[in-house]
Amino acid sequence: MKYSHIIWDFNGTLLDDMEAGIKSENVLLQRRNMPLIESEEQYRAAFCFPVIDFYKKLGYDFSRESYSELACEWTEQYIKFSADAKLFPYVPTILGMIQQTGARQIILSASEQTLLRGQVEKLGILEYFDTVLGLDNNHALDKTAIAKQWVAEEKPQKMLLIGDTSHDMEVAESIGADCLLIANGHQSYNYLKERGATLLGTICEVVNFLEIM
């Protein structure tokens, strides 16, 4: 194995939760009589980090309501809709194969820590990870700081960050990690390709990429 540490994003990378995200957002939009998200393509085209910029694209006016309150309202809906969200196919198998190589695996997410850990435990994959790193709030602003803190403490040798958004590329660069993106999450293949990402179509291709067959 080329890497000593595999850092996984969670939402849209391990967890197939785009439908839950769209449904949650549409509840908020409907309450405000704003245009709904009508397709996955529309969602992927708009989604970005920090998430507050995504909300601005959708038409929210933060001179009239606070992002903090909106984030709490969205989280309430997401907890409900994501209860049935599943892992992408073969995730436990892939995590197990990587674990067999001796590489350490970490989850790094912009989700709130308690919510994140609860999801990981419920899905039955906690055993594959040394650490689960989430934010101390539900604002989903930026996970760079917690990534840098973890690197400073752990001093990993060779890292690969696997995610599904351009923000994952930014985080990887900030900590000196290689980056691999899977283009069936929250941003489109074309959008990520334009930004020079190393891309796979599905998580199943990670096994060949890492040469652990």
Name the CATH superfamily housing domain 5-16+85-210. Answer: HAD superfamily/HAD-like (3.40.50.1000)
**Per-residue pLDDT at 62:** 93
Neighbours of 211 (CB within 10 A): 9
Cβ of 124: how many Cβ atoms within 10 Å? 10
The Cβ of residue 187 has, within 10 Å, a number of other Cβ atoms equal to 26
Residue 166 structure tokens? 């351009």
Rounded Cα distance between 81 and 78, Å, is 5
The predicted model scores a pTM of 0.95
Residue 84: both structure tokens together: 């049935």
28 HSE (CA, 13 A, CB side): 23
The H or E element that residue 185 is part of is none
pLDDT of residue 139: 53
* pLDDT the model gives residue 40: 95
- Residue 142 confidence (pLDDT): 77
Q: Which residues of the chain have pLDDT under 50?
A: none
pLDDT at 164: 97
The phi and psi torsions of 33 (rounded to 5 degrees) equal 55, 40
pLDDT at position 151: 96
Helix and strand counts by DSSP (H, E) for the chain: 10, 8
Please report, for the chain, the start and end positions of each structural domain, with discontinuous segments joined by +: 5-16+85-210, 18-84
Determine the pLDDT at residue 54: 95
Provide the b/e sequence for 80-103 (b: ≥16 CB within 10 Å).
ebbeebebbeebeebbeebbeeeb
The confidence score (pLDDT) of residue 10 equals 97
User: According to the model, what pLDDT value does residue 170 have?
Assistant: 96
